[in-house]
Every structure is written in C-alpha cells, then in structure tokens.
Amino acid sequence: MQRITTEAGLSMTVSTSSPFEITNASGDRIRGNYHTPGQAVGAPVIIICHGFKGFKDWGAFPAVADFFARQGWIAIRFNFSHNGIGDNETEFTELDKFAENTLSKEMEDLQAVIDEVTGGRLLPFAANTGRLALLGHSRGGGIAILKAVEEPRVKAVVSWASVSTFDRWGPETRKRWKEKGVIEVMNTRTN
C-alpha cells in the first residue's frame, strides 16, 4: 500500500499493482496485473473478468481491483488472450485474435489464471487460495458463473451486470453469420 496525492490535492491510500504474463494450455499469452493489500501473505484472492470488447484497464477495473486490495484481498485483473488487446494495452491491435475469440477460449484463459494462482506460480507470496472468488462483468460475468460451476476451488462469484444468455444474436444475424462465416461487431469506442 502507498499514499498518493491526487491532482485535486486529496491524499489517499492505494494498493500496489504488479504486472504478470502467463500462457494458457494452448500457449496463448495472458497479461494482467495483481493488486496487493498491505499484508498480502495469506490474503484471499479475487479474479476480475472483463466483458466482450472489454479489457483489464477499461473503465473502473483498475479502481475496482484497488478497492478490493484496500479491503485486504489480492485482486487480479487480466486480458483474455483473444480480446484484441496486444502490446498496446489500451487499443485493439490484434483484430485477428479478436475474430477467433470464443467462450471456450475465455474459459481456458480463466482456468490458466486460476491454475497459476492456486499452484503458487503467479504470485511471489503465498495467498489464501482456499478463499478464491471470481468477479465478472457482462460477458465476463457469464464466464465467471460457468467456471464456478465446474471449478471447485472457486468459493464465491460476483456477477456484475452479467449476460443472461450467450445466445444474443437474432435469427437474421445468425443466418448472415452462417452465410458469411463472420459477424461484424462495431467498436463503439472508435467506430
């Protein structure tokens, strides 16, 4: 933990954030950050999953991770390997990977993060992996719920504006998808 002074002159305590990079079972690169509380050894872990067209540094995710760390959790936020974010961590530069993204790929990525955390390889200290939680936003909420069903090491799930179904496309869109082999998705940040 460290104290900072904001541009507005407010003094506040923030967590320490450290980057990491791992690979999933297919060899795909997963990048993330872990936020640690003042006493990280033995702290519980929460893994934050972004949604469709999201990424670990989008919106409030860094602040949410910081909040959980200040409450005594180790908070992990990461980019799914095929979310379209590459070396530039705020721009979609890997559109080829984004085009190949699937729910199964995101499940594989989340499993890799869980395995690295619980196996003691991701963090440089011992965490309380018996208290492992997932927080997922939008499609990431659906992924977190599905993973919690099949992964007994996950003890809690926070579903934040989660999808209610993965079958979001209407009949006309599915027909065009089948005919063309792709669905074009507008990037509302950049058009």
Within a 13 Å sphere around the CA of 45, how many CA atoms are in the beta-carbon half? 26
The whole-number average pLDDT for the span 136-143 is 95
11 vs 34, higher pLDDT: 34
pLDDT bin (cut points 50, 70, 90) of residue 118 is very high
The whole-number average pLDDT for the span 129-143 is 96
Tally of domains within the chain: 1
In a domain, 185, yes or no: no
Query: Does residue 123 have a pLDDT over 60?
Result: yes
In a domain, 146, yes or no: yes
Tokens found for residue 118:
């619980």
The whole-number average pLDDT for the span 111-119 is 98
In a domain, 3, yes or no: no
pLDDT bin (cut points 50, 70, 90) of residue 88 is confident
In a domain, 105, yes or no: yes
In a domain, 154, yes or no: yes
In a domain, 5, yes or no: no
In a domain, 39, yes or no: yes
Nearest to 66 by CA among 123, 13, 8, 134: 13
pLDDT given for residue 191 in this prediction: 42
Check which CATH number belongs to the domain holding 94 and give it: 3.40.50.1820
Query: What is the percent of the chain with per-residue pLDDT over 90, rounded to a whole number?
Result: 55
The whole-number average pLDDT for the span 3-20 is 68
In a domain, 186, yes or no: no
Query: Does residue 81 have a pLDDT over 80?
Result: yes
Give the range of the structural domain holding residue 48, as residue numbers without chain letter.
16-180
